[in-house]
Amino acid sequence: MSDNKFDLSDKEEQMLETMWREGRPLTRSEIINLTENRRWKESSIHVFLNRLLDKESIRVCDIVKTSTNYGRTYEPTFTAEEYDIARLKQSFETINPETSVISDFVSFIAKSNKVDKKSLKELEDIIKEHKDKL
């Protein structure tokens, strides 16, 4: 996968979030209508779709009959989870290991109410494995 495909503007990310949420290929007009709290202009969405296609963040799935003509349907080339992981990796590449950022981050994860015992155990095992290699 190209790293560039994960380098998204806020508007490109919003378009992908709409596609992930819907879980099916969408036409341009569906993206406009389904994106929450946004008023997309036809010209703007065309630019964003072309950028996402150029980055290989989305692909054309099909050409379908719409009410008046034919239109393309688009879908993401990666999942929301893959995107989140890529963003975390990009963030960690710039961290200075001499700071407490990593321990602060691990502490945040451990205290988060979004983490279950199984995930904490996996994190603990990963840390232990890495520590043993040092």
Residues 110-122: tens digit of each pLDDT: 787 778 888 888 8
Q: Which two three-digit tokens encode residue 131? A: 């520590």
The pLDDT of residue 3 is: 58
Residue with tokens 């997309």: 40
Residue with tokens 């950022």: 101
Contacting residues for 120 by C-beta, under 8 A, at least 6 apart: 110
The CATH number corresponding to 3-80 among 1.10.486.10, 3.60.15.10, 1.10.10.10, 3.40.640.10 equals 1.10.10.10
The pTM for the full model equals 0.75
Domain positions in the chain = 3-80, 95-133
Q: If you average pLDDT over every residue of the chain, what do you get?
A: 87
Under the banding of pLDDT at 50, 70 and 90, the label for residue 58 is very high
For residues 38 and 11, give the distance between their C-alpha atoms in angstroms, rounded to a whole number.
9
The pLDDT of residue 1 is: 45
HSE on the CB side for 60, CA within 13 Å? 10
Lowest mean pLDDT of 21-25, 56-60, 82-86, 127-131, name the range. Answer: 127-131
Instruction: Give me the percent of the chain exceeding a pLDDT of 70.
Output: 98
